[in-house]
Structure 1
């Protein structure tokens, strides 16, 4: 072996190493198993809420897997200035679920509602792609007090969906809603998930939701809640086609609402890119973050064309990189290949679509509750020593809960207004961003705070250390500072 070859191997960063093929496959499969439930849950939620047929739901599941694979390949391997070239797994994002449900419901559900959702995703993804370089310089508008509040509201707004599923459908509409067998299956599914979390080894505990769905479906068989007939109707192989459900429709209100969600998703992705950069020992600079956001937004727009939903980095896989110490982005690229492969076989999606509603409800309560808990964990890092951040969280949560507590409150307002504010996540996000600007960015005079509170508002901008980490060579820096691609 030549000296130049030895030098090249020594100099190669672990993130750019290519392990042997068998190891890459096993490591890649591990990443897929740890995030699979999250990918399939979103099309199941949206498809069921839109009252689509089992065949259509199966198609959505397959499209979600296929587009998650494409997005992961784009993020890990990169094309031009698109893709962070980090070990980041991409999948369908929960952040947009409640907004998508509001948009679809405003159009009456079904395929019509789905086309409205795809139209909003297409435009908001394009807007997010264009503003990505600007967004990385505006992160002080989205500190933890904003993102933590929004993530909490996402979980809270989804919990009623899970509760209705546990009952077997929709109150007053589904004749069997609330029957003891439905609640028993939901409860058993939830118990199974908790036991797996508590007792199973680390690897299995990370796929507790997926295992709960599988075992819950088995439990539902003797209750007569599982229908295997649709599996025989599913195609073995099918390439998802553009605009399968029809040409997307576009509305101003829906687009504005989804753009707000994209800003939240971009904030979460920025956090994931920074986190994985520290884990792999190649801290991300501002250009890396910008390229990663471009991949997210481009994937979202393309996903809407191919019948998928919003795409973002999965935080749980960042944790998996940290736990295993496997830093190669090519391992995660293999994960993308596996997801793409799964998306090409609708019969695999049909197995997912047979999961009964009560089983989905039991898993949904755990899954959506976990989302809310993640938001609370983010809020735990906020400085509440002053009055400002308490007011931001309090009012934002209140605005986010309004559509949940009184879904018809805004029914007499214009359509564009209801599409925006009938989504708890959009209401909470807009309120949190505006109040953060008023209280923490524009500032206020001394003495404005009530006497019963501790002094001084909490800082809201990203720290100077974060700014240096993002742009270590200063505002005039060009290219990457940590060995990335130009």
Structure 2
């Protein structure tokens, strides 16, 4: 029997299963394809906002792939005190995009962004012990709500992918794009139903490959540019200049780091729930420290804040492949993509609509996993129903109305622009207010809880007469006489 760094018997943990080199490569590539669009989107947006030439934007992308790969390996394989050793893919966080664009456009430039990321990540590393102690405030009512919100938040991403990815493209939303997405989705379903267990587990990867081949035959993708450009490129240190440290930029980035800590905590707990393994405060702290250390080092290569990718949590739920070594292999592939731009160009040729078809199932599965967790919550004479309802509703605001926080102070918009962090914060606060602080709680059911399912036995209804009615908890007959009730034996 093998033991991990914390002394736990690794053979007892589902995430410690090693499937072998071949399976690790196949499933690892599936993880990379799932999150590739997300990991390249942030450097694309920031590079364009900074007015960088295409060559430098390409370096931003390869730097993000390289840094994401290293962060994934650290999170999955781990070092003492760093890495939760769970199947979590790391990559550039979306949480800080608006803040980093604001820092750039206000005159700080790329140096101020990189400096703010490094300083804020160092502070985040110092405060992780506080965050790792909040594990007891994440019962199923909180984790189920957050997992459900993660899935619902990601579904619009899948829809945009299915429409073509680029909203400014002339064919965005065309029947050709949506048809290709639908075809990919159908292939996933067919492979899941008709294939062997191995094929079913690889259904997402196989569907993406088949969908890409169909797109190539239909002229909807182009591999002609794959051979153009460098085949090998080592990451350049501080290519965009040395970091500069500006107080205002650092303060705004600290808020982003706090949001990142909340989101990563939610993802660590979510994947632990999905694969049925124990996540305690020490393991959560190790995961958060890996997150912050990766974010601190990433700017050296020209990348930004790192966090767990929620869409890959969905892939774990869909495939049932729980091995952290699979995801670590995905991290190695990401490092290779960062060193071999030609591989990145191959993956970049996969049409977004193909990813969209697979994403609908992936992200829907995350929501379904959250609903399964919520099914274990006690909705009796308490306020858990209103906690779930309020938190999910609050989390949907940025999705349903992206401009909702436009006129709020920037720090509020930074915290709540993410549906995941919005739902997580609301669920944690309401769980504290209603389930930890008992003072003031009513001993009567709330109007929300009163609307939950009730069961009345058929023989009880048979005893009622025409004209009987209920008033103040008592039964009266048609003439107003009280009908005596016998206590249940």
Q: What is the TM-score normalised by the length of structure 1?
A: 0.71
Indicate the residue corresponding to 2:66 in structure 1. 66
Q: Contact 1:401/1:424 (CA < 8 Å) preserved in 2? A: yes
Partner of 1:5 in structure 2? none
Residue by residue over 1:270-308, the C-alpha shift from the partner in whole angstroms, topping out at 9 and shown as x without a partner, is: 5657998x87xxx78754553344223312432354326
The question of 1:200 aligning with 2:198 is answered no
1:388 equivalenced with 2:383 (yes/no): yes
Q: Taking structure 1 as reference, are residues 158 and 315 closer, same or farther at Cα in structure 2, changes over 3 Å only? A: closer
In 2, Cα distance between equivalents of 1:144 and 1:382:
6
After superposition, the CA RMSD in angstroms is 4.4
CA-CA distance at 1:186 after TM superposition: 1.7
Shift of 1:229: 3.3
CA distance in 2, matches of 1:422, 1:340: 30
Q: In the alignment, which residue of structure 2 is the partner of 1:135?
A: 131
| CA distance 1:209–1:106, shift in 2 (3 Å) | farther
Quote the Cα distance in structure 2 between the aligned partners of 1:179 and 1:316. 27
Larger radius of gyration: 2
Structure 1 CA distance for aligned equivalents of residues 8 and 193 of structure 2: 40
> Structure 1 residue 161: deviation in Å?
2.7
| 1:40 maps onto 2:40 in alignment | no
1:149 is aligned to 145
Distance 1:41 1:119, change over 3 A: farther
What is the TM-score normalised by the length of structure 2? Answer: 0.70
Aligned-pair distance for 1:131?
A: 2.7
Q: Deviations over 1:197-227 (max 9, x none)?
A: 2223333333333332222222112433212
Q: Give 1:253 shift.
A: 4.5
Q: Which residue pairs with 1:180 in the alignment? A: 175
Hey, what's the Cα distance between the residues in 2 that align with 1:120 and 1:370? 36
CA distance in 2, matches of 1:180, 1:271: 35
2:8 and 2:149 mapped to 1: Cα distance?
43
Which runs of structure 2 are paired with 1:17-32 in the superposition (5 Å)? 25-26=21-22, 28-29=24-25, 32=28
In the alignment, the residues of structure 1 paired with residue 204 and residue 257 of structure 2 have an alpha-carbon distance, to the nearest angstrom, of 27
| Number of aligned residue pairs | 427
Q: 2:165, 2:22 → 1: CA distance? A: 38
Against the structure 1 CA distance between its residues 356 and 140, is the aligned structure 2 distance closer, same or farther, given a 3 Å change threshold? same
State how far apart, in whole Å, the 1-side matches of 2:380 and 2:8 are: 46
Q: Secondary structure at the match of 2:89?
A: strand
2:402 is matched with which residue: 390, 403, 407?
A: 407
Q: Which residue of the partner structure matches residue 367 of structure 1?
A: 362
For residues 313 and 349 of structure 2, the distance between their equivalents in structure 1, rounded to whole angstroms, comes to 28
Does residue 1:221 correspond to 2:216, yes or no?
Answer: yes
Deviation at residue 438 of structure 1 after TM alignment: 1.1
Query: Offset of 1:446 from its aligned partner?
Result: 5.0
Distance 1:204 1:417, change over 3 A: same
Rate the CA distance shift 1:82–1:438 in 2: closer, same or farther, 3 A: same
Assess if the C-alpha contact under 8 Å between 1:139 and 1:267 holds in 2.
no
- How far residue 228 of structure 1 moved from its aligned partner, in angstroms, is 1.8
Tell whether the 8 Å contact from 2:262 to 2:421 is kept in structure 1 after alignment: no
In structure 2, runs of 5+ residues without a counterpart are: 1-6, 13-17, 451-489
| Superposed displacement of residue 37, structure 1 | 3.0
Residue equivalent to 1:462: none
Q: Deviations over 1:411-453 (max 9, x none)?
A: 2223333233332223222222221221122223453544556
- Superposed, which structure 2 residues align to 1:319-398 within 5 Å? 337=332, 339-398=334-393
C-alpha distance in structure 1 between counterparts of 2:126 and 2:154, whole Å: 30
Q: Give the Cα separation in 2 of the matches to 1:332 and 1:46.
A: 21
Change (3 A) 1:91 1:398: same
Distance 1:447 1:274 in 2: 31
Aligned to 1:477: none
The one of 423, 429, 432 aligned to 1:437: 432
Q: Distance in 2 between matches of 1:157 and 1:37?
A: 19
Secondary structure (helix, strand or coil) at the match of 1:235 reads coil
Structure-2 change in CA distance of 1:147 and 1:209 (3 Å): same
Note closer, same or farther for the CA distance 1:362–1:117 as it changes in structure 2 (3 Å cut): farther
What CA distance in whole angstroms lies between the structure 2 residues aligned with 1:410 and 1:266? 24
